[in-house]
Amino acid sequence: MKLLNTYEDKDEANLAEQKITGLKRLASERDDTQVIYNLFGEPSWSNFYKLDMFNLPLLKKLLDKKQAGESYDSNKHQEIITMLKYAATSFELDIPKHWL
In a domain, 100, yes or no: no
Does one domain contain both 5 and 44? yes
Does one domain contain both 43 and 2? yes
Crossing angle of helices 74-91 and 56-67, rounded to 10°: 130
Domain that holds residue 67: 54-94
Confirm whether pTM is higher than 0.75: yes
pLDDT in tens, 15-34: 999 999 999 999 999 978 89
Domain count for the chain: 2
Does one domain contain both 64 and 36? no
pLDDT in tens, 35-86: 999 999 999 999 999 999 999 999 999 999 999 999 999 999 999 999 999 9
What is the Cα–Cα distance from 62 to 92, expressed in whole angstroms? 24
In a domain, 99, yes or no: no
| DSSP β-bridge partners for residue 6 | 38
- Answer whether 78's CB lies under 8 Å from 60's CB: no
CB burial of residue 33 (10 Å; 0-12, 13-18, 19+) = exposed
